[in-house]
């Protein structure tokens, strides 16, 4: 095995060990608190409900071990078995090596790679989530979602991949720089069209009906100088009892979407705090910052792909006699998760900082910490959130601060 393959193998094993170690670390911390509710949460949650949240966390932790091992095994088979060179040779022997066939090859392989994970996805929803009362979906809906996802991937992904591969013929050596611009432009367009045309294929979106809630939320939007024609409600309850709210789009295409489960769980005052938090992300410039970070990371990714595509040693290491660009894309997509894993704490640290800032904005807009704290506590209870994660685990994986951290920050002002 050449040095490149040894490096990939070492990275794959190191990631798997880190994933399992972090999960075990978190499970031990959660078990340590199972029968002793931390003082800060007493009065917020009943002991029986707290123990149920612990059981849910532990069940997800055990399930994650299976997911991590399966992901590592599938990737190892793909990379080290020689199946990729065989598949590429067979594919090009049948349909040639044009840009369109390369794009289709990428889609077919990525679909094939996703198949081993389908039983785990089914188990997660219809066994694990069902056990704790969260699953609301049916098998028919689950199958329909995946068929729609494949269809959308073909309709949108195929022409985009074809264009990226065709740039080599049109531009030559700097194709990757133009390709980055094309993909980043595509991402901006998707921010606009996703909530308008793609999300409605999976969920029904309706304007928040007239009443006290709408009146309070529209007043809040006015005070925050956040012009909006409507606030939309999504029927998330047809799949899950989990609740959420999110902000999407920009400019006149921006939208705030509330899960219908959120409306069922929170009071109008608490909903106002949640909306203020989401508006805070917009007003504080978090969206442009994350877009800029995405642009930089995507540029780096294309630069790496451009370098790999011109490296005979890279292709030879994986058993390829020539240097097909679709294979460079494919190998990058398959392997990028290994180094990216170690950057997870950095991106999550930025995300947590944004959450603190949005919480502070919500406090300011609602006149104090009470409404946002009440909303966070209720959402934590309803979603059976882990109230006692290990600090290392939460620092590595959590895009949001823990409940205790958020409460402390909001209380300090």
Active site residues: 278
Count CB-CB contacts under 10 A for residue 286.
Answer: 19
Q: How far apart are the C-alpha atoms of 134 and 65, rounded to whole Å?
A: 21
Edge-first strand listing for the sheet containing 245-248: 205-207, 232-234, 255-259, 245-248
Q: Are 248 and 195 in contact (CB under 8 A)?
A: yes
Q: Are 315 and 5 in contact (CB under 8 A)?
A: no
Q: Are 38 and 45 in contact (CB under 8 A)?
A: no
Q: Are 245 and 262 in contact (CB under 8 A)?
A: yes
Q: How far apart are the C-alpha atoms of 171 and 149, rounded to whole Å?
A: 32
Coil/strand/helix, residue 170: helix
Give the DSSP letter of residue 133. Answer: T
Count CB-CB contacts under 10 A for residue 292.
Answer: 11
Rg of the chain over all Cα atoms, to the nearest angstrom: 23
**Two structure tokens written together for 347:** 């991106």
Q: How far apart are the C-alpha atoms of 343 and 231, rounded to whole Å?
A: 35
């Amino acid at each position: 095995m050449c040095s490149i393959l040894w490096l990939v193998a070492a990275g794959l094993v190191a990631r798997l060990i880190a994933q399992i170690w972090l999960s075990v670390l978190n499970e031990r911390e959660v078990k340590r608190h199972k029968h002793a509710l931390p003082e800060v949460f007493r009065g917020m949650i009943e002991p029986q409900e707290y123990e149920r949240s612990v059981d849910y966390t532990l069940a997800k932790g055990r399930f994650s071990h299976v997911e991590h091992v399966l992901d590592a095994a599938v990737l190892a088979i793909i990379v080290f078995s020689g199946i990729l060179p065989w598949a590429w040779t067979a594919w090009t022997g049948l349909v040639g090596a044009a840009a369109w066939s390369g794009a289709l090859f990428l889609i077919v392989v990525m679909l094939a790679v996703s198949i081993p994970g389908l039983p785990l996805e089914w188990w997660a929803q219809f066994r694990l989530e069902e056990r704790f009362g969260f699953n609301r979906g049916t098998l028919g809906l689950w199958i329909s979602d995946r068929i729609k996802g494949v269809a959308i991937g073909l309709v949108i992904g195929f022409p985009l991949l074809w264009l990226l591969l065709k740039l080599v013929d049109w531009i030559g050596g700097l194709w990757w720089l133009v390709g980055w611009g094309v993909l980043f432009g595509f991402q901006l367009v998707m921010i606009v069209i996703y909530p308008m045309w793609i999300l409605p294929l999976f969920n029904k979106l309706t304007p928040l009906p007239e009443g006290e809630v709408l009146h309070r939320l529209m007043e809040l939007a006015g005070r925050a100088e956040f012009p909006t024609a409507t606030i939309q409600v999504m029927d998330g309850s047809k799949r899950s009892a989990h609740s959420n709210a999110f902000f999407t789009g920009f400019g006149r295409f921006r939208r705030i979407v509330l899960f219908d489960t959120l409306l069922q769980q929170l009071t109008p005052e608490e909903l106002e705090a949640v909306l203020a938090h989401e508006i805070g992300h917009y007003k504080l410039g978090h969206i442009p910052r994350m877009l800029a970070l995405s642009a930089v990371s995507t540029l780096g990714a294309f630069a790496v792909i451009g370098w790999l595509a011109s490296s005979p040693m890279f292709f030879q290491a994986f058993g390829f006699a020539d240097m097909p660009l679709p294979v460079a894309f494919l190998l990058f997509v398959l392997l990028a998760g290994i180094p990216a894993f170690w950057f997870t704490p950095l991106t999550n640290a930025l995300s947590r900082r944004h959450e603190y800032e949005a919480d502070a904005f919500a406090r300011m807009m609602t006149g104090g910490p009470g409404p946002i704290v009440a909303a966070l506590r209720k959402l934590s209870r309803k979603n059976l959130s882990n109230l006692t994660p290990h600090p290392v685990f939460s620092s590595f994986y959590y895009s949001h601060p823990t409940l205790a951290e958020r409460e402390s920050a909001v209380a300090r002002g």
